[in-house]
Structures are given as structure tokens and as C-alpha cells.
Structure 1
Amino acid sequence: MRDILNAKLGRRSVLGAGVAGASMLAMPSVLRAQDKSLKVGVYGGFFKDSFDKNIFPDFTKATGIAIESVAEPTGEAWLVQLEQAAKAGAAPADVSMMSQVAMLKGQTTNLWAPLDAAKLPNSKNLIANFVNKYPDGKIAGIGAVSWYITLVTNTQAYKEAPTSWAALWDKANADKLGLLALVSNSFLLEVTAKTFMGGTKALDTDEGILKALEKLSEVKPNVRLWYRDEAQFEQALKSGEIPMGQYYHDVTGLAASQGSPVRSTFPKEGGIQDSGCWALSRASKKT
């Protein structure tokens, strides 16, 4: 999948054409960029930088549509901003990259403008999991990217890479961790179940969930930062201020390739795989 992008792309691998992608790539390139434009919300930090450098210029060259990228926060803060703006008839971004949980929550308020599959011929190349649909079958979002969340460390603080998610619970790591703040994007309950409870099936019962929550609460003394804005942890990890945590595998790899003292480790229990969609705000005037 990553072949679609320049090898230097930051965080996530592209799965398919975005909202503005498949059909518009067939449009004549004689349109001037200033004649048409889109605001596109993407995750901040290295990821946004990579899209600004490697993706959006080619899109503009092919379509004549200028892109103004907007750094959106990790998690559901962006969803709240989009919903509040939509109520006022405004759109902070026309197209946004949204997580699966945010896509579902946005559906409940009809935040996403339905997409016409006939105008997205490349959507047939996606497996069903990457086409987000309303209950009535209308397309709410189309697969954009997929990513891994792994166990990351500052190599100057940790000469050897940890091998298990259990390192998050190690008392030697008190006040050293940066973890994603939301249950919807951190998957820490699943990490807990996989590491200490024999697997995620333990979360199929209320009793199992409560047991996982109790075990997860033991991590709190080790956490220095519960982050929503990934760029905040990115800087702290590179400086060594917060030398361990969970973060995105390819962003960490890109930072390492540019000389930052960081590493990404797939623990023996496995990394966390998640994905996002391109979604169009119903308040956008660019449908």
C-alpha cells in the first residue's frame, strides 16, 4: 500500500483515492490552482509535513485544485470542532482525515456528506472495511490511510529496546510515559488484555472489562503526559523529556531517519493497527 506514496511519507500508508481523488485525477490539468481550492484536515507534525511535500503538490498539478492543509488534533477534538462549525454552517476543513470511531460518531449527527461511489471508481480497489457507510448504505467516508501504533523509546534514555507492552507498567518507568489520552485511539484496554489477560476476548464480558480497567489503572504513576496532540509528544520523545510511550510507527521511523534519537518497537504481543477515512463535512461549499 505504501507504494502509492513517496517513500518518505510520514505516518500512514495510503489505502485508496480520497474524497477529491479518484474522479478528479481525470480532470484536465489546464485549470489554474487559484480557480479551485480545498481545505484538507490532516494530522499534524511529520504527517502533515509529508502530505504538504509529497502528496498535495502532485494533486494540485493533476487537478488544478489548490490545497490548503489544516493541522487537525489527534482523537475526537477535531470532530467536536467540525460539528460545532457545521451547526453554524461553516467548515474548518472541507475534507478531513478521520478515525473509525470519529466516523461513527459523526454519522449520528449526519456530519458527513454522502459520497457518490460512481465518482470514486478506485473505491472498488478497497476492501469493505475501508469503506465507511451510513446504516442506509450511503458512503460516509472512503479509506485514506492505515497505521500502526507501537512502543517507542528515546535511544539515549533506553540503550536497549523494550520487548513487551508490560514495560508500561514497570515501576522503573515512573513519570516517563506519554500515552494517547482517549480510549477511542489509544486501545489501552486491548493492550492490557493482550499483555496480561490472555487476549482481547477477555473484554467480551463486563467482568473482563472491569478487570482490565483495574489493571490499566496501575499504569497511572508512570504516565507524565496523556496527549491528544501528537506533535506535543513527538517533541518530548525526541528531546528525551518523555522517553517512552505509545506512538505511530512510521512517524517514529521518519524521525529516526532524520537523526532523532528515537526507535519504534513492535512488542512481542504485537502492534496496534488502526485506519482513517477521508470524510466531507456537510457544511462544505465544495461538494
Structure 2
Amino acid sequence: MQRRQFLKASAATVAALSAPTVLRAANNALKVGTYGGYFQESFDKYIYSDFTAATGIEIESIAEPTGEAWLVQLAQAARAGQAPADVSMMAQLARLKGERSGLWAPLDETALSNLGNLPEHFVQRYEDGKLYGTGAVSWYITLVTNTEAYAEAPTSWTALWDAANADKLGLMSLATNSFLLEITATTYFGGTDILKTDEGVLQVMEKLAELKPNVRLWYRDEGQFQQALETGEIPMGQYYHDVTGLAASQGKPVRSSFPDEGAVLDSGSWVVSKASKAIEPAQVFIDYMAQPEIQAKLSRFVGTAPTVARELTDLTDEEFAAVSSDKAPILPLTQIYVDRGDWINQMWSEKITG
């Protein structure tokens, strides 16, 4: 997962927070991997120095490659007893694949005093109940429109199927990152449980295929769609809430809407390589990142939605709306793409984008 742009953040400071002091030599710093580019730059600038000041633990910042390449690197290195990073921010598909292979080190819950701040969907466990991951950052995919083409904001994902929107939509082209199966299942079938069987997936795909006449662009290039949305060439689609809000704040005629059925809440998780020799400081870092003050700081400076309950943060209504919503989200059903990914992708190509 790559994130391109985020909201412009106002200046703010977060006081150094108390945490266990685990001193490590600078040449033996805790290696933390995040998505490269903007993500890494933001963590370098706004997070790591304050973390070191609060805990005494030095951070070596690692830029992760895109897609599942980082998962492959971590797995290969772990077999040799090496850890390219101690802590990694992993997209959900890679996180679950790593769980299935036992790649992540179990974490000591007694060392994570802030674990209770996270909702259950941001707490990841092995089948035996052992904790191995926590929600790091999250972001929303919403229903977006050009305000010059649509005077009123749509209130439901059903707008994607409306015949009045023929040849007007831009939708993400992959089943695994568009979450259109989950959107369709929630909108028309009462939730994502239907996707747990092959028959259910095919039923949902049949409904999703009904909107094909409305699709002008199945996109992988986010910049291409954003430009078309801003010009009105493709006036409706699905896109990132934070990026759309940033464009709107810069005077572009675009809006992001949270449909009544909910927007898609995607996320990255903190996990620790089983080959890491730095479990204790890694847990200090993961616990630090689960503090409401730090999640609010990420919302302000990195543009991510908080992984903790809104009421725990000091975000203003405006700050919270810029990155999140109080509406119940649509959560990706990641396990189906691990268990039946090849088959789903084949069916998707034949029935949806083909």
C-alpha cells in the first residue's frame, strides 16, 4: 500500500509521554519499517524523535517496498535468523499471510498498557489466542463526487448502480484493494458474511457486475482518477477520504461522502519479526503508538484516522471529520483473499473488469 498525499496539518505539539525506559546503543537502534515516501518522512519528522525523547530508545527508520515484497524479504531473512526490521507496518493481506506462516513474534500483553484503547478489529491474534499485532494507522475509502457535476452529495453506495450515472464512475480495478465485494455485500446483502462461501462471492459479483455500464475507468493509477475527478471528466467514484479532502481544501470541486452503509476502513498493523532480538523495545514502541495522544498526532500530521476511539482523543470535530467518521465502517474481509485469492481474482477478471 502506498499513500500519496495527506491533509495539510496545523502546527501542534504533543508532550513527551511517560513510558518504560529501555536504553539501547545508537548502533543497536530499534529498526522500524513503514511504507516509504510520505509515510516514512512523516514518521521521521513527527514521531521518532519524540519517541526517543520519551523512552531513550533510538529508532532506525526503514522504508518498506510496496506490495508483498516486504513480506517475502522478512520471511527469507527470518529463515536465516535475521530481521531487516524489528517492527514493521504491514498491510492486512500481508499481515494475515505472515500470521499463517508464523512469521510474527508473539507479544506480551502485560507490556502493552494501551492495548485496551484499540477496538477488537485492531487487535490481531494467532489461533491459540496469542497477541502478535495491533492497529498502526487506518484510512477510509469513500464515495467521492465532483461538486460541479453533483450539486447534492450522494448518501448511499447504491448511487454506483444508478442508471443516471452511466459512464461516469471511476473504480479501483482490483478485488483486493477496491473492497467492492465488501461494499456490494454490505449494501445489498446485509453484510459481508455472504462472502465466506464461493456461492456467496459469485452472487455478490453478479450484483456488482450490474454497475459495469456506469464504469468509465477501472483504475490502478490514483493520480489519473484524481485528475479526472477534479476536471469532471469522471465525476463519481471511490477514493481516499483524506486525499479528497485535501484537494477540496485547495479549491478543487470535489467532495468525499461517508455513505449510510459505511465507508471502507483499511489499515496497516504493527508486527514484530520472529527473528528480532529486540522484542522488549519493540513492545515499548507498539504500546507508545497506541496512546490516544499519538493517534491524534498522526491524524493531524500524517492524515490517518485514529485507531483508538474518538472520545479518547482531543481531536476537534473539524480535525476528526478530516480523517474519519462516527459511522460504523465496512471492514475488509481479508481472509477470503488469502484463502481463495487466486479464484477470486480469476472470477473478478472474468465477471467484473473483463
Query: Structure 2 length as normaliser, TM-score?
Result: 0.58
Within a 5 Å distance, the mapping from 1:193-212 to structure 2 comes to 193-200=185-192, 202-203=194-195, 207-212=199-204
Residue deviations 1:33-75 (CA, integer Å, cap 9, x gap):
6662423223765x5554343323322333341342425536x
Moved more, 244-253 or 154-163: 154-163
Corresponding position of 1:73: 66
Query: Do residues 40 (structure 1) and 33 (structure 2) align?
Result: yes
Query: Do residues 58 (structure 1) and 46 (structure 2) align?
Result: no
Q: Take 1:207 and 1:49, find their aligned partners in 2: how far apart are those partners?
A: 44
Give the total of aligned pairs: 260
> Structure 1 55/202 Cα, relative in aligned 2: closer, same or farther at 3 Å?
same
Query: Do residues 117 (structure 1) and 118 (structure 2) align?
Result: no
> Structure 1 140/32 Cα, relative in aligned 2: closer, same or farther at 3 Å?
closer
Q: Take 1:165 and 1:44, find their aligned partners in 2: how far apart are those partners?
A: 32
Q: Take 1:211 and 1:123, find their aligned partners in 2: how far apart are those partners?
A: 38
Residue deviations 1:121-178 (CA, integer Å, cap 9, x gap):
3224434443211123322112323433211235566555333323334564537413
Q: Take 1:176 and 1:100, find their aligned partners in 2: how far apart are those partners?
A: 27
Corresponding position of 1:189: 181
Structure 1: runs of 5+ lacking an equivalent: 1-5, 10-21
SS of corresponding position for 1:144: strand
**Cα displacement (A) at 1:102:** 3.4
Corresponding position of 2:311: none
Corresponding position of 2:167: 174
Corresponding position of 2:273: 281
Question: Alpha carbon RMSD of aligned pairs, Å?
Answer: 3.9
Query: Relative to total residues, which structure has the larger strand share, 1 or 2?
Result: 1
Within a 5 Å distance, the mapping from 1:99-248 to structure 2 comes to 99-155=91-147, 160-170=152-162, 172=165, 174=167, 176-179=169-172, 181-183=174-176, 185-200=177-192, 202-203=194-195, 207-220=199-212, 222=215, 224-227=217-220, 232-233=221-222, 235-240=223-228, 244-248=236-240
Q: Take 1:177 and 1:165, find their aligned partners in 2: how far apart are those partners?
A: 13
Q: Take 1:78 and 1:278, find their aligned partners in 2: how far apart are those partners?
A: 13
Query: Structure 1 length as normaliser, TM-score?
Result: 0.69
Q: Take 1:26 and 1:42, find their aligned partners in 2: how far apart are those partners?
A: 27
Q: Take 1:135 and 1:68, find their aligned partners in 2: how far apart are those partners?
A: 31
SS of corresponding position for 2:154: coil
Q: Take 1:32 and 1:152, find their aligned partners in 2: how far apart are those partners?
A: 48
Ranges of 4+ aligned residues in structure 1 off by more than 6 Å: none
Q: Take 2:157 and 2:200, find their aligned partners in 1: how far apart are those partners?
A: 19
SS of corresponding position for 2:47: helix
Corresponding position of 1:3: none
Query: Relative to total residues, which structure has the larger helix share, 1 or 2?
Result: 2
CA contact (8 A) 2:30 2:86 kept: no
SS of corresponding position for 1:26: coil
CA contact (8 A) 1:237 1:243 kept: no
> Structure 1 251/210 Cα, relative in aligned 2: closer, same or farther at 3 Å?
same
Within a 5 Å distance, the mapping from 1:7-18 to structure 2 comes to 8=9
Residue deviations 1:92-138 (CA, integer Å, cap 9, x gap):
54322234443332111111122222332322443444321112332
SS of corresponding position for 2:144: strand
Q: Take 2:76 and 2:152, find their aligned partners in 1: how far apart are those partners?
A: 46
Structure 2: runs of 5+ lacking an equivalent: 1-6, 11-16, 280-354
Residue deviations 1:221-259 (CA, integer Å, cap 9, x gap):
6263443xxxx41x3344226654323323433443355
Match for residue 75 of structure 2 among 83, 102, 107 = 83
Moved more, 116-125 or 262-271: 116-125
> Structure 1 77/265 Cα, relative in aligned 2: closer, same or farther at 3 Å?
farther
